[in-house]
Amino acid sequence: MTPDEYCQDKAARSGSSFYYAFLFLPPERRRAITALYAFCREVDDVVDECTDAGIARTKLAWWRTQVAQMFEGKPTHPVARALEPHLLAFDITEARLQAVITGMEMDLDLSRYNSWENLEQYCWHAAGVVGELSAGIFGYQEPETLVYASKLGLAFQMTNIIRDVGDDARRGRIYLPLDELAQFNVKASDIMAGKHTAEFENLIKFQANRARTLYRDAAEHLPAIDQRRQRPGLMMAAIYATLLDEIEDEDWQVLDRRIALTPVRKLWLAWRNWVWGGKPALKQLRRAADST
């Protein structure tokens, strides 16, 4: 199996919404974004699959070495070997790749966040910087596009956090800011116990409003000249924003189930936004925020 095939297999098996956006890209950009996605999956799997935090830290330290070796032209892991040829062409910087690993290390150090300011920092490391890396692969002319990409990444991460509240609680984690739990009179112990209360529902609605505001802000920062180039990100935005709507339609029942869109629906949303240059997604993001 070649390094590119390894990354393709990892992306395909993940079932992620991101995979549907990759399908429409030209070959070189598709290989680059697939390798970047595989890198993110590899370091994320370290935290998800290692029950021993010490071992996880050692593995992440090894990945930091792999990143450095990529920029020295001598990576060894299949994912690093697949990503290395694209570094210069798509402005994939060592600092940004290392920032992704920092986000994984935060998951080893923290299981609670005191405020949105603290959580926002985590979200940038987990997804905002990935948005910036992805924007470079998709292509852009205006620097403002990186602001759009970072905010879109934050919106994706907040949508994931809302969707995964129950799953995260079962792993001993609560990403929702503790000061906002107190604001809405929600006890951390109730979330851990899976208790869906009126107070919890108000808290989740508040988080959804935040996510939708981030979607709107992202849309407002995307220059028109870069809109068509950034179609893959807009395709993902359509999928994630629709997922957030689906969670609302399911009455915010995120403590005991994992709400998801069907593969056919994801593919339809992706195709529609590719054909129409991302315009449906931009309209959707602005409309969703207006409804908050």
**Using CA atoms, how far apart are residues 129 and 34, in angstroms rounded to an integer?**
16
Domain stops at, among 29, 61, 93: 93
Both 262 and 287 in one domain: the answer is: yes
Both 124 and 243 in one domain: the answer is: yes
**Using CA atoms, how far apart are residues 235 and 51, in angstroms rounded to an integer?**
35
Both 82 and 115 in one domain: the answer is: no
Query: What local confidence, expressed as pLDDT, does residue 284 receive?
Result: 92
Q: Percent of the chain beyond pLDDT 90?
A: 84
Summarised one tens digit per residue, pLDDT across range 145-174 is 999 999 999 999 999 999 999 999 999 999
The crossing angle, in degrees rounded to 10, of helices 279-290 and 198-220 is 140
Summarised one tens digit per residue, pLDDT across range 233-277 is 999 999 999 999 999 999 999 999 999 999 899 989 999 999 898
pLDDT-derived band at 85, boundaries 50, 70, 90:
very high
**Using CA atoms, how far apart are residues 235 and 238, in angstroms rounded to an integer?**
5
Residue 14 has pLDDT above 80, yes or no: no
Summarised one tens digit per residue, pLDDT across range 202-212 is 999 999 999 99
Both 62 and 186 in one domain: the answer is: no
Both 170 and 263 in one domain: the answer is: yes
Both 161 and 83 in one domain: the answer is: no
Domain membership flag for residue 287: yes
- Considering the chain, what is the average pLDDT of its residues? 93
Domain stops at, among 63, 93, 123: 93
Can you give the residue range of the structural domain that contains 119? 110-292
Query: What local confidence, expressed as pLDDT, does residue 15 receive?
Result: 66
Summarised one tens digit per residue, pLDDT across range 18-77 is 777 788 899 999 999 999 999 999 999 998 888 888 999 999 999 999 999 999 999 999
Both 120 and 242 in one domain: the answer is: yes
Distances (CA, A) of 32 to 10, 28, 76, 120, 283: 14, 6, 17, 27, 28
The pTM of the full predicted model, rounded to 2 decimals, is 0.94
Query: What local confidence, expressed as pLDDT, does residue 137 receive?
Result: 97
Which residue type sits at 144? E
**Using CA atoms, how far apart are residues 292 and 289, in angstroms rounded to an integer?**
5
8 A C-beta contact, residue 42 and residue 63: yes
Collect all residues with Cβ–Cβ distance below 8 Å to 113 and sequence separation of at least 6. Answer: 119, 122, 175, 176, 177, 178
pLDDT-derived band at 10, boundaries 50, 70, 90:
confident
Query: What local confidence, expressed as pLDDT, does residue 288 receive?
Result: 64
Q: Return the higher-pLDDT residue of 23 and 103.
A: 103
Query: What local confidence, expressed as pLDDT, does residue 88 receive?
Result: 95
